[in-house]
Structure 1
Amino acid sequence: MTTDWHMLTREPGLPALYAKAATRRKITGTSLPDSGLRCWVDVEPQRLAAYRNVCGFDDNSLLPPTYPHILAFALQMQLLTAREFPFPLLGLIHLGNRIRVLRPMGGLHRARIGVKVQNLQPHAKGATFELVTTLDDQLGTLWEAESQMLCRGVKLEGEPVEEALASTLALTQIAQWKAPSDIGRQYARVSGDYNPIHLSAASARLFGFPCAIAHGLWNKARTLAALADHLPAANIEITVQFKKPVRLPSQVALLASAAGSSGALQLIGDGDLEHMVGHWQPVT
C-alpha cells in the first residue's frame, strides 16, 4: 500500500485531540487509511531532561532509544483521531513494540517525524494493526518503530496469527525497581499520554481496571535505561511484548542474558508474574 503523506507545518495541539478521542467510542470500519503525517519537531532540552529523570536514563549526548516516541506522540494522536481512522483511540491495547536505532542519535536538535498505520490482521479478541513511526534527520532515517495495537470487537475474515517471543538464553536478574503509585502521572507529564488507565485508581476503574497501571512504554524505557551498559548505541533492534500490566504501586525485577550483540530480557513482578518479554539483535 502506497502512503499518501501529508506534511504539517507545526505539531498538533493535544487538548483538542483528547477532546476528539473522548467523543469517539464506535468502530466505523474495517480498513485502515492510506494517509500518513509528517512534521519537523524540535528536541527541547528541558523536556528531554525530565524524561531522562522519569525513565532512569543517564544524561549524555544521545537521545534515549525510546525518546522518539515522545517526539511523535502528538502526530500519532492526530492520525488515530482522524475521521478516516476506523477505531476509537480510547480502548486500544498496546500489545508490543519494536524499535530500530539505525545510527547514533547524538547532537540532534531538530528532526522529522513520520507516522502511519498498516498491516491490519485478525486477532482472537478483535483486530491488530501496526502504528509505524520514523525519525529522520537531514541525512535520512535515524530511527524507526512499529507498535502493535489491538482493537477489541473488530471482526475480520481470516485466521488469527499471534507471534510469541521465546528465548532459550539463560537469564539472570540484573536490576529491580519500584513502580510508584504516581509513575503514570509522572510519565504523562513528560510524554503527553494522559490515558486515564495510568493516572489513578479512580480513573482506571472507569475502564475496567482495579487500579492504575504503568504505561507500557515507561516499562520499556525503564528497562532500556537499566540495560544501557549492555546495548550498543546504534545498529540495534529491540522488540518487546507486553504481558500482564504492572499495577501501581509495585516492584519489578529485570532479567537479561549476558551482554552481547544479541540477547533476551524479561520483566517480572511478585510471584514471577510476567509483565514484559523481549530480545535485542543487530538490525538486519
Structure 2
Amino acid sequence: MTVHWLDLDSPPPLPALYAHAATKRKITGNTLPEQGLRCWVDVEAKSLAAFRDVCGLAPSPLLPPTYPHVLAFGLQMQLLTDKDFPFPLLGLIHLSNRIRVLRPLGGVTQLRIGVFVHNLQKHPKGATFEVVTQADDLLGPLWEAESRLLCKGVEVPGEVPGEVPQTATPAPMALSELTRWYAPAGIGRQYAKVSGDYNPIHLSAASAKLFGLPSAIAHGLWLKARALAALTTHLPVANVEINVAFKKPVRLPNEVILLSSDAGASGDFQLNGQGDLVHMVGQWRPVS
C-alpha cells in the first residue's frame, strides 16, 4: 500500500474530534482511505510521569513501550473520525496490538508520529482493519505498532482468512504467576486522563450500559502497559516485538493475575481472571 501523507503543524485538539465521533453512528462504506497523518510531537515530562503513575511504571530514562500510542492518540482520532473513514469510531472492538521497539527509547524529547489504516479483511462478525502507528526520531524509525480493530456489520468482498497452521506457531513457554493486581472501578477514568482515550465503555458502569455492557471494562492498552511494567526486567529494551491478543474484557472492578515465562530474548505472558478466565495473551520476540 502507498500511503499519501498529510503533514500537520501540531497535534489536533481532542474535544472537536470527540464531537465528530459522537455524531457518526453509521457505516458509510467498505474501503479504507489511503491518506496518513504525520506530525512532530513533544514528549512532556509531566504527562509522561502521570502515565507512569497510572500504569505502575517506575521512573526510567527510557520511554515505556506503549507510550508512543499516547503521543499518537490525537492523530489516530483525527484519522478515524475523518469524513473519508467509513466506520463509526464508537463501537470498534480492539482485538490485538503489536509493538516493535527498534532502538532503545532513551533520550527522546520529540518524535515524528505517523498513522494510517490498512489491511481491511472479512471477519465472521463484519470486517477487521489495522491502525498502523510509526514513531521516528532524527535518526529514523524508532518504534512502530499495529492495532487490529473489528467493526461489526460491515460487508466486504472475499473470504474470511483461514487460521495460521499450528505448525507455524512456536509452542508456548512454561508460565508461572509473576504478580497480581486489583483494577479499581475508576481506573478507566484515570487512564483516560493520561491517554486522552475517553471511550464511554471504560469510564463508568452508567456510560458502558449505553453500549450494551453491564459494567465498565478496562482499556486494553492500559492492561498491556500495566503488564509490561511488571515485565520490565524480563524483556530486552530494544529489538523486541511485543504482541498481545485481547480475549475476555476485564470488567471493573476486578483482580487480575499475570503469568509469565522466564526473562530472556523471547517469552510468553498471559493475564487471567478468576477461575479459567483469560483476558489477554502475549509474547515477546526479537524483531524479525
Q: Distance in 2 between matches of 1:156 and 1:137?
A: 37
Shift, 1:163, TM fit: 5.2
What are the superposed Cα offsets for residues 148-203 of structure 1, whole Å, 9 maximum, x if unpaired? 00000001122212657884311101010010000000000000000000000000
Q: Deviations over 1:21-43 (max 9, x none)?
A: 00101111110000000000000
Deviation per CA, 1:13-66: give whole Å up to 9, x if none. Answer: 000000000010111111000000000000010000000000011101000000
Going from structure 1 to structure 2, the CA distance change for 1:214 and 1:61 (only over 3 Å counts) comes to same
SS in 2 for 1:272: coil
Cα distance in structure 1, aligned partners of 2:175 and 2:151 = 33
Provide the aligned length of Structure 1 versus Structure 2. 284
Instruction: Tell me the SS of whatever aligns to 1:9.
Output: coil
SS of the residue 2:50 aligns to: helix
- Write the distance in 1 (CA, Å) between the matches of 2:273 and 2:160: 29
> Counterpart of 1:46?
46
Corresponding residue for 1:210?
214
Is it true that 1:244 corresponds to 2:253 in the alignment? no
Aligned twin of 2:83: 83
Match of 1:156 in 2: 156
Residue aligning to 1:101: 101
Q: What secondary structure is seen at the aligned counterpart in 2 of 1:229?
A: coil
Q: Does 1:20 align with 2:20?
A: yes
Could you list the structure 1 runs, at least 4 aligned residues long, displaced by more than 3 angstroms after superposition: 162-167
Structure-1 separation of matches of 2:162 and 2:148: 11
The match for 2:228 is 224
Q: Which residue of 1 aligns with 2:142?
A: 142
Over the aligned positions, Cα root-mean-square deviation in angstroms equals 1.1
Check conservation: 1:103, 1:143, Cα contact below 8 A: yes
Where does residue 198 of structure 1 map in the other structure? 202
Deviation of the 1:258 alpha carbon: 1.1
Residue of 179, 182, 185 corresponding to 1:181:
185
CA distance in 1 between partners of 2:157 and 2:109 (Å): 45
Match of 2:31? 31
Change (3 A) 1:166 1:274: farther
TM-score (normalised: structure 2): 0.97
In structure 2, what is the Cα distance between the partners aligned to 1:45 and 1:148?
A: 29
Partner AA of 2:30 in structure 1:
T
Structure 2 unmatched ranges of 5 or more: none
The question of whether the paired residues in 2 share the 8 Å contact of 1:167 and 1:264 is answered with: no
Aligned partner of 1:57 in structure 2 is 57
Percentage identity across aligned positions?
A: 67
How many angstroms apart in 1 are the aligned matches of 2:162 and 2:104? 32
Q: Per-residue CA shift, 1:236-276, capped at 9, x if unaligned?
A: 00000000000000000001111111111110001120000
**Counterpart residue identity of residue 43, structure 1:** V
Secondary structure at the aligned position of 2:241 is classed as strand
The residue aligned with 1:72 is 72
Q: Unaligned regions of 5+ residues in structure 1, if any? A: none
Name the structure 2 match of 1:271.
275
Partner of 2:263: 259
Secondary structure at 2:177's aligned position in 1? strand
The secondary structure found in structure 1 opposite 2:105 is coil
Deviations 1:47-103 (A, max 9, x none): 000000000111010000000000000000000000100000000000000000000
Q: Please, what TM-score do these two structures have when normalized by structure 1?
A: 0.98
In the alignment, the residues of structure 2 paired with residue 275 and residue 9 of structure 1 have an alpha-carbon distance, to the nearest angstrom, of 39
Residue type at the aligned position of 1:228 = T
User: d(CA) in 2 for partners of 1:173 and 1:142?
Assistant: 32
Q: How far apart are the structure 1 equivalents of 2:219 and 2:16? A: 22
Tell me if the contact between 1:123 and 1:162 (Cα under 8 Å) persists in the aligned partners: no
Secondary structure at the aligned position of 2:275 is classed as helix
